[in-house]
Copies of this chain bind each other. A is one copy, B any other.
Amino acid sequence: MPPTATLLVSCPDQPGLVAKFANFIYANGGNIIHADQHTDFSAGLFLTRIEWQLDGFNLPKDIIGAAFGAIAQPLNAQWQLHFSDEVPRIALWVSKQDHCLLDLMWRQQAGELRAEIPLILSNHEKLGAIAQQFNIDFHHIPITPDTKPQQEAQQLQLLQDYNISLVVLAKYMQVLSADFIQQFPTVINIHHSFLPAFAGANPYQRAYERGVKIIGATAHYVTQDLDQGPIIEQDVVRVSHRDQVPDLIRKGKDLERMVLARAVRLHLHNRVLVYGNRTVVFA
- B-binding residues in A (CB < 8 A): 14-19, 22-23, 25-27, 29-42, 56, 98-99, 102, 106, 110, 112, 133, 194-198, 209-214, 216, 230-236, 240-242, 244, 250, 254, 258, 276-281, 283
B212 x A234 contact (CB < 8 A): yes
A38 to B32, CA, bound (A): 10
B234 x A214 contact (CB < 8 A): yes
B15 x A19 contact (CB < 8 A): no
Question: Contacts of A27 on B, CB cut-off 8 Å?
Answer: 19
A42 to B211, CA, bound (A): 14
A283 to B23, CA, bound (A): 25
Interchain nearest-CB distance for A182 vs B (Å): 21
B196 x A210 contact (CB < 8 A): yes
A214 x B216 contact (CB < 8 A): yes
A233 to B209, CA, bound (A): 15
Question: Contacts of A279 on B, CB cut-off 8 Å?
Answer: 211, 241
Interchain nearest-CB distance for A258 vs B (Å): 6
**A38 with B198: in contact, given A19-B26, A31-B15, A213-B233 (CB under 8 Å)?**
no
Interchain nearest-CB distance for A251 vs B (Å): 10
Can you name 4 extra interface pairs (CB under 8 A) apart from A98-B110, A196-B197, A211-B230? A22-B22, A209-B277, A212-B231, A214-B235
A213 x B196 contact (CB < 8 A): no
A241 to B146, CA, bound (A): 41
A23 x B30 contact (CB < 8 A): no
Question: Contacts of A234 on B, CB cut-off 8 Å?
Answer: 212-214
The 4 closest A-B pairs by CB, nearest first: A211-B278, A19-B22, A197-B197, A19-B26
Question: Contacts of A33 on B, CB cut-off 8 Å?
Answer: 39, 41
Residue A99 contacts which of B40, B106, B278 (CB distance < 8 angstroms)?
Answer: B106
